[in-house]
Amino acid sequence: MSGSDPGKLISKADNLTTLSLTRWSADWESATRLYEQAANGFRVSKDYEKAKLAFEKASKGREMLSSPWDAAKSMESAAALAKELRNWTEVIDFYRKASELYMQCDRPQFASDSLAKAARAVEDALPSDAIKLYSDACVLLEDDRKEQMALDLYHAVTNIYVKLEKYTDAVAFLLKLGLAADKCNATNSQCKAYLSAVIVYLYAHDLKQAEKCYNDCSQIDAFLRSDQNRFAGKLLSAYKEGDVEEIKRVAQSRSITNLDSVIIKLARKLPTGDVAAFKTNAAIGEEEALDENDLK
Amino acid sequence: MSVIDILTRVDVICKRYDKYDVEKQRDQNVSGGDAFARAYAAVEADIESALEKVELASKEKSKASAVAVNAEIRRTKARLLEEVPTLQRLAVKGISTEEMAARNDLVLALPDRIQAIPDGTAATKQTGGWMSSAPSASRTAIKFDSDERFDNEYFQESEQSSQFRQEYEMRKMKQDQGLDMISEGLDTLKNMAHDMNEELDRQVPLMDEIDTKVDKAAADLKNTNVRLKDTVTQLRSSRNFCIDIILLCIVLGIAAYLYNVLKK
């Protein structure tokens, strides 16, 4: 059987499944087997289009046989082949279908896994879709209270946002990362997330937001006691003084190298823009404070 | 002797050998760059000299010279009190908020110190016996045995000592560098350890799941094995076995009989 032409196997299987006068009920079992064999044959001969179709049909067969697990697995294989063909919409569709089937088997981890695979595949081509897929995957994991697995996904979303230069969204996701890390007591990841958030704000040259963010995060005990807190404080005071050399020196220190690679790149490029503006603002603020004292 | 006496004696000895304290000398030189620090150092020096004059005055035998010294002290005090406001203004131009506050505190303490210098006028108003014990300690005459021989040249650095000091500085620098490298390495280690911790925490519930599933599978296997054993023993029970042997013997007997008959 394995030696015969996969095309013939497909047509045979099609015959078995189509209903006609001579056939009253479709024989899904043998049909599915034939579909799978055909799909493997096509894959070996690198005919991805036909292999993808065969996997799709095999998955449908498995669904009919009420085994959503195998159906999901076939769907994933189909999606992987669609990725080879660079057919992104199909990739997304197949992976979504696979994740639904996994949810039917009551395995949310695998479901979020397939969504994550989809997002990774379309990251470069369709970043907004990738973001949506990642967020759905994170939601699935959080519903199952497995936030720790979600940490990597949050990192990936942040990286996409940074690439798209949407810094506020990136920070939002970093804060969500911090929240998830908090729920599973991953204090190191949490502190690193908050520090990354401050750095992203500074890269976007928004000192006020960075300070607000830093103050908010300082409310959290774990962050307050950590090295990352001290480092963030040093960085912010260097910014307030407007001392470019100091900023560069602080940014080269060890704490940065422990963070995610994308964040490291941002930190190396600090300071962006004119820090002298921050310095004069800060000085004006101090003089005003003195005036108030004199009035008293 | 009492603790206070020991303290005053130690203070006097330290002041005497101040010139050996390189760090203090260096600090005094460094503060020369800052206007406030210079002025403050000048005022402090004046206060010190006024206190020394007080000691001299208490040792004076003739009343006239004591009165003259006291008058001089009073003039110095008035001059110093005038300088305090200028110091205050200089203090406000400080660098950072913490330093400003510290300097303000120092300047505010100055008037009290100046007033506390005893000038023979309001001796009864002195605060407790503490101020009086200072001159009293000097009255018990802390004497240095080799007093006269200590001139400036005696305190100069010899070549050996300066070389030694240099070597000490170099070694200290090298140690600092080494410690910096160690701290970097420790930083990396700490980060790695934290990440490993989190990873293991992540895997604990997965292991628990595996545990339960494997337990279930093991129980199923055990069950199946027991049933299989039952079936097999049933198949090969001794009764069936005996029947098999008897039938086999009968067949052999029949075969032998036939063989004998046919041979004949």
Domain boundary among B76, B93, B120: B120
Candidate ranges B10-24, B208-222, B232-246; pick with highest mean pLDDT:
B208-222
Better-predicted residue by pLDDT, B155 or B262: B262
How many domains does the structure of chain B reveal? Answer: 2
Least confident of A164-168, A226-230, B95-99: B95-99
Q: Which residues of B touch A189 (CB under 8 A)?
A: 198
Q: Which two tokens stand for residue A292?
A: 């108030």
Residues B22, B165: contact at Cβ < 8 Å? Answer: yes
Strand segments, DSSP code E, in B107-215 are: none
* Count of H-run helices and E-run strands, chain B: 8, 0
How far apart, in whole angstroms, are the C-alpha atoms of residue A168 and residue A209? 10
The domain boundary residue, chosen from B78, B93, B120: B120
Judged on CB neighbours under 10 Å (0-12, 13-18, 19+), B4 is: middle
Q: Do A188 and B187 touch (CB under 8 A)?
A: no
Among the partner residues B184, B188, B198, nearest to A189 by beta-carbon distance = B198
- CATH fold of A38-144 reads 1.25.40
Q: How far apart are CA B74 and CA B115, in angstroms?
A: 10
A196 reaches B (C-beta below 8 A) = no
Predicted pLDDT at A3:
47
In this structure, of A18-32, A192-206, B16-30, B113-127, the range with the lowest mean pLDDT score is B113-127
pLDDT score, position B136: 45
Nearest to A99 by CA among A48, A55, A134, A147: A134
Looking at chain B, which residue has its C-alpha nearest residue A186?
Answer: B198
User: Degrees (nearest 5) of the Cα angle B54, B57, B58?
Assistant: 90
Distances (CA, A) of B190 to A231, B186, B200, B246: 16, 6, 15, 80
Which one is predicted more confidently, B98 or B16? Answer: B16
User: Encoding tokens for residue A202?
Assistant: 């500074």
**Contact assignment for A188 to B201 by CB distance below 8 Å:** no
B122: its two tokens? 């309001």
The percent of residues in chain A predicted with pLDDT above 70, rounded, is 90
> Does A148 touch chain B if contact means CB atoms closer than 8 Å?
yes
Q: How far is CA A102 from the centre of its chain?
A: 19
pLDDT one-digit tens code per residue, B171-207: 999 999 999 999 989 988 998 999 899 889 888 988 9
Percent of all residues in chain A with a pLDDT value above 90, rounded to a whole number:
0
Identify whether B148 is part of a domain.
Answer: no
pLDDT band at B224 (very low <50, low <70, confident <90, very high): very high
pLDDT digits (tens, 9 = 90+) for A255-292: 788 888 888 888 888 777 666 666 655 555 444 545 55
Whether residue B165 is contained in a domain is answered as: no
Instruction: Check: CB of residue A241 under 8 Å from CB of residue A277.
Output: no
Contact B191 A188 (CB under 8 A): yes
What's the rounded mean pLDDT across residues B57-86? 81
**C-alpha separations of A161 from A112, A173, A196 in Å:** 20, 9, 13
Q: Does residue B141 come out as left (phi exceeding 0), alpha (psi in the -120 to 50 range) or beta?
A: left
Half-sphere exposure of A66 (CA within 13 A, CB side): 0
Q: How far is B252 from chain A (nearest CA, A)?
A: 49
Q: Decide if A148 contacts B202 (C-beta within 8 A).
A: yes
Highest mean pLDDT of the ranges B90-94, B145-149, B227-231? B227-231
pLDDT of B233 above 50 = yes
Chain B CB contacts of A246 below 8 Å: none
| pLDDT band, residue B95 (cuts 50/70/90) | low
Which residues in chain B are closer than 8 Å to A148, comparing Cβ atoms? 198, 201-202
More confident residue, B94 or A124: A124
Structure tokens at B205: 């519930």
Mean pLDDT of A159-173: 87
Span B36-68, pLDDT tens digits: 777 777 888 888 888 888 887 777 777 888 788
Please indicate if any CB of chain B lies within 8 Å of the CB of A189. Answer: yes
Integer Cα distance of B209 and A92 in angstroms: 30
C-alpha to C-alpha distance for B162 and A74, rounded to whole angstroms: 82
Supply the mean pLDDT for chain A: 81
Q: Is the pLDDT of residue B97 over 70?
A: no
pLDDT the model gives residue A2: 45
CB contact under 8 A, B201 and A149: no
pLDDT for res B137? 43
Where residue B28 falls among pLDDT bands split at 50, 70, 90? low
Q: Is the pLDDT of residue B127 over 60?
A: no
Residue A250 contacts residue A238 (beta carbons within 8 Å): yes
B14-B18-B24 Cα angle (round to 5): 120
- The answer to whether A209 and A179 are in contact (CB under 8 A) is no
Tell me the two tokens of residue B65.
Answer: 């010279």
Residue of B93, B104, B182, B187 for testing the chain A interface, max A β-carbons within 10 Å: B187
Q: Could you give the 3-state DSSP secondary structure of residue B1?
A: coil
| CA nearest to A196, candidates A237, A255, A141, A244 | A255
Give me the amino acid identity at A255: S
For residue B80, the enclosing domain spans 28-120
pLDDT tens-digit map of A126-159? 888 888 888 888 888 888 877 778 888 888 888 8
**Residue B264, helix vs strand vs coil:** coil
Report the alpha-carbon distance of residue A185 to residue A231 in Å, rounded: 21
- B230 pLDDT band (50/70/90 cuts)? very high
pTM for the full predicted model: 0.63
Is the CB of residue A146 less than 8 Å away from at least one CB of chain B?
A: yes
User: Would you place residue A293 in the very low, low, confident or very high pLDDT band (cuts 50, 70, 90)?
Assistant: low
Instruction: Inspect the interface and report whether the beta carbons of B188 and A185 lie closer than 8 Å.
Output: no
State the Cα–Cα distance between residues A150 and B105, nearest whole angstrom. Answer: 54
Model pLDDT, residue A1? 42
- The predicted pLDDT at position A279 comes to 64
How confident is the model at residue A201, as a pLDDT? Answer: 86
The set of residues, in sequence order, having a beta carbon less than 8 Å from that of B12 and lying 6+ positions away, is B137, B138, B142
Last residue of a domain, one of B91, B120, B149: B120
Which residue among A146, A186, A255 sits closest to B198, beta carbon to beta carbon? A186
Q: Could you give the CA distance from residue B11 to residue B8 in angstroms, rounded to a whole number? A: 5
- Cβ partners under 8 Å of residue A233, min gap 6: A214
pLDDT of residue A30: 83
What are the structure tokens assigned to B26, written together? 């260096």
Q: Quick one: what percent of chain B has pLDDT higher than 90?
A: 26
Among candidates A186, A255, A258 on the partner chain, residue whose Cβ is nearest the Cβ of B201: A186
pLDDT value for B34: 66
Residue of A nearest to B195 (CA): A188
What pLDDT, on the 0 to 100 scale, is given for residue B125?
Answer: 45
Report CB contact under 8 Å: B198, A148: yes
Q: Across residues B125-144, what is the average pLDDT?
A: 49
pLDDT bucket at B133, cuts 50 / 70 / 90: very low
pLDDT surpasses 90 at B170? yes
Residue B126 predicted with pLDDT over 50: no
Per-residue confidence (pLDDT) for residue A290, from 0 to 100? 52
| Residues A209-251: tens digit of each pLDDT | 888 888 888 888 888 888 888 888 888 888 888 778 888 888 7
Terminal-to-terminal C-alpha distance of chain A: 98
What's the pLDDT score for residue A34? 83
pLDDT at B135 over 50: no
